[in-house]
Amino acid sequence: MLRSGIVRSSGRRVFSPTIDKAAVPGRVRLWLGVLVGAAMWVPSILSAQGLSQPSIPFSTQGYGQAIGEVAGTMVGSAYGQTVYVGAGTGATYDISLASGWTLPAGLQLAYPNGTPATGGTLQSATGFLITGSASAAGQYNVAFQAISTSQPSLIDSAVYHIMVAPAPGSFQGSVSTPMAPPPSNAAVLGYNPLVLPPGTLNQPYSASIGFSNGGVQSVALLTQVQGGALVSAVNPTAPIPGLVIGSGGNASGVDPVSGVVAANTTASLAGLSVTWSAASNAVQLGGTPGIAFGGLNNPLVLQVTGTNTQVLNYNLAVTSSPTQIAKAYGFDNIRLGGGILGTGAGQTVVIYGIGDVAGFVSSTNPNFANSDLNQFALAHGLANFNTEGGPVFLKVDQYGGTNFPIGAPTDPTEVPQDIQWVHALAPGANIVVVELPNATVPTPNIVQTWPFAGLPAPSVVTSSFGGSTLNGPPSSYSPNVSYLASSGDFGSSGYANPNVVAVGYTQLQTDANGRFLGEASVNGGTMQTTAETFQSGGGIDTGVPQPAFQSRVPCGSAAPNPVDTNYRTLPDVAFNGAEPSGVSVYDSYINGTALNFKSGGANPLLGGGPWGDAWGTSIATPSWAALLAIVNQGRAQLGLPGLDGASQLLPALYCLAGSAAFNQVGTSIDQTTQLVSALTPGAGTAAYNTLAGLGSPVANILVPLLVATDVPEPASVALVMVGLVGMALRGRRRA
């Protein structure tokens, strides 16, 4: 049984969870202590005062004014929007669209006097003009970039949201919904007549599109496949993952070849209903969608063709929300000392990325109000970065400056979802994104030379680019820091460093409120936009000897590692990340780029809604980083440093193998043709395997146990921590 034990470490007595070898096989019981006295909470929330970063302010209102928004326009109308860049002190900048972003067709970037940009760049300018006449209606999120001509290492960006209404008399659709919009920025967040609003998995969806100035000729439900072609969303050879067809499937009423929905009938896609009424010249969407979709990875396009052959594309995005995921894994019930809700407050999470993500700027930056991170936080009611005592977000280059590695990153959707999901599950944590020009982290690295006196040094470092960014020598890792990396979405990423927690991904099933219903690892299926085969990365690395913490699973038992006894095995842990159970991400690249870099074809979502389905180990890894920020928040309350990855965190995780701290995941699933709902509940559990590792976290149990790792005696502290474990166990519930 898992119990509290007093062991010696470096000559001092410590409280540490151990495994009783005499435990009854197959059953893990947790020893509950009695909480004696109230734990004293020492506030460690960072105040942003005094923390600043050089920036280049953008504004539609004048130099030194708030960033503002650009005016809307109409197809065929002359447009002219001035944006002021800089503080009006005479400094000049080279200004362009950020790499990969595009203006609405018919609009162009020009000098304030109207002279068009040469080669796409305005040189030595103090502002710019968006001019021309737009030719396609929609919502366009566009990122602009400025480089100081006197200080080229000062680079900054800003996002503007351009709403283009259809021309009078043209065939057009108008979207309406009874679903409640966010309390602020509703139009920018996809609640406007031009785009379909985002939906939430397993919750009712309702929206309608009324068409005017012509009839509807056809309605189709399409997805994009490798090479860029649009095909039926239920095409047998390339369906959206989880959109099962055929006998026993969850899709009906859609032609498998053309994707066409017949008039005056209702098509159903995993609970989402689509009805085209010829009499009312409208399309109604309803039902309760049971799988996630949308965005550049697995687009679901509602394509409407008018009798004049004009084509309108709408991005359908349905995903799991932060509230649902927090509920499913127990984040909503994590209690630290004094009953404080765990949020990661006072901790700093570093995210390594490759290339620049122009849709994100630091929270200290005047351009932050229009940034994607701020939109995501507003949409989901998360902690505000610009409030006293709130968290701080910084985007820096590899040395802590603003000389960002401009140019399209390896995957421009990768880092946005890392940032948003650390914030979603640890809303009180500070986040610092370190943008690298390539996969090599410099030595010494920014974690070791931490340059921000006003910000706590990081206790968690995460990378969703896998081992390429973290496979360094032992000297590249800092003590008392927890490191995480993704294990791979299409098989192993080749990452097996024993200093780092390797994270795999699963397919999760919840109800509308996020109650946990089931989980399976991912081993099979095809991503339609790239034709790659899904598999939560794992296996055996014969180049890395097996670390001691993996030799017995669980530690202290007689059970050897069930996968291999000689070499490092992975992943270590897992978290939700399958496309059918993917999560919400707000990314301006979705509706602001003309090219879908995933499929290699034209982006059918250009001018559509900015929401997408984020998935893979790129969601699982930052979610675990959020959990560890909360763990280290609890340790900070006790005056202790963050968990050291190699000597504390990984050994502690393996000591908890098979315990109630993990959802054990053994059954695997073909992501394209299977859903967790089709599996026998609770079947196929395993203490450890090469798809889900030890399993996914039951956070309200796991966090207090990890907080308790190597806690120094006196016994009063140990009793407090054991009491916290007891509180967590008593609080564990799925309802």
The domain limits of the chain are 2-31+321-358+406-578+615-731, 58-165, 172-319
The b-or-e profile of 102-129 (16+ CB within 10 A means b, else e) is bbbbbbbbbbeeeeebeeeebeebbbbb
Element holding 325 (H helix, E strand): helix 322-329
Residue type, 308: N
- What is the rounded distance in angstroms from the CA atom of residue 397 to the CA atom of residue 384? 24
Distance CA 431, CA 125 (A): 32
> Could you write out the three-class secondary structure of 670-687?
CCCCCCHHHCCCCCCCCC
Answer whether 23's CB lies under 8 Å from 1's CB. Answer: yes
Query: From CA 290, how far away is CA 179, in angstroms rounded?
Result: 18
- Between CA 233 and CA 220 the distance in angstroms is 9
pLDDT at residue 520, rounded to an integer:
92
Q: What is the CATH number of domain 2-31+321-358+406-578+615-731?
A: 3.40.50.200
Cα(209)–Cα(198) distance, rounded to whole angstroms?
A: 14
Contact status, residue 569 vs residue 546, Cβ threshold 8 Å: yes
Q: Is 394 exposed, middle or buried (0-12, 13-18, 19+ CB in 10 A)?
A: buried
Is 172-319 a CATH 2.60.40 domain? yes
| Structure confidence at residue 468 (pLDDT) | 53
Residues of the chain scoring pLDDT < 50: 1-49, 714-724, 726-735
Distance CA 606, CA 594 (A): 6
pLDDT for 7 equals: 30
Supply the pLDDT for residue 495: 64
Give burial (CB, 10 Å; 0-12/13-18/19+) of 453: exposed
CA distance 71 to 734: 47
666's tokens? 């053994």
Round to whole Å and give the CA distance between 250 and 512: 18
pLDDT confidence of residue 677: 82
In degrees to the nearest 10, what's the CA dihedral of 668, 672, 673, 678?
50
CATH 2.60.40.10, applies to 58-165: yes
Distance between CA atoms of 70 and 142, rounded to whole angstroms?
A: 11
Question: What is the C-alpha separation between 675 and 616, in angstroms, rounded?
Answer: 16
Distance separating alpha carbons of residues 278 and 216, to the nearest angstrom? 7
Cβ count within 10 A of residue 590: 30
The shares of helix, strand and coil residues in the chain, as percent rounded to the nearest 5, are: 15, 30, 55
Per-residue pLDDT, 23: 31
pLDDT at 705: 96
Q: Cα separation of 550 and 571, whole Å?
A: 11
Residue pair 285/274 in contact (Cβ under 8 Å)? The answer is yes
- Measured CA to CA, the distance from residue 124 to residue 645 in angstroms comes to 48
Same fold, 58-165 and 172-319: yes
Distance linking the first and last C-alpha atoms of the chain: 26
- Going by C-beta distance under 8 Å and a sequence separation of 6 or more, which residues neighbour residue 249? none
Cα 566 to the center of its chain, rounded Å: 35
Letter string b/e over residues 555-585, b meaning 16 or more CB atoms within 10 A of that residue's CB: bbbebebebbeebbbbbbbbbbbbbbbbbbb
What angle do the packed helices 715-731 and 699-707 form, to 10 degrees?
A: 170
CA torsion through residues 352, 641, 707, 661, sign: positive
pLDDT at residue 494, rounded to an integer: 62
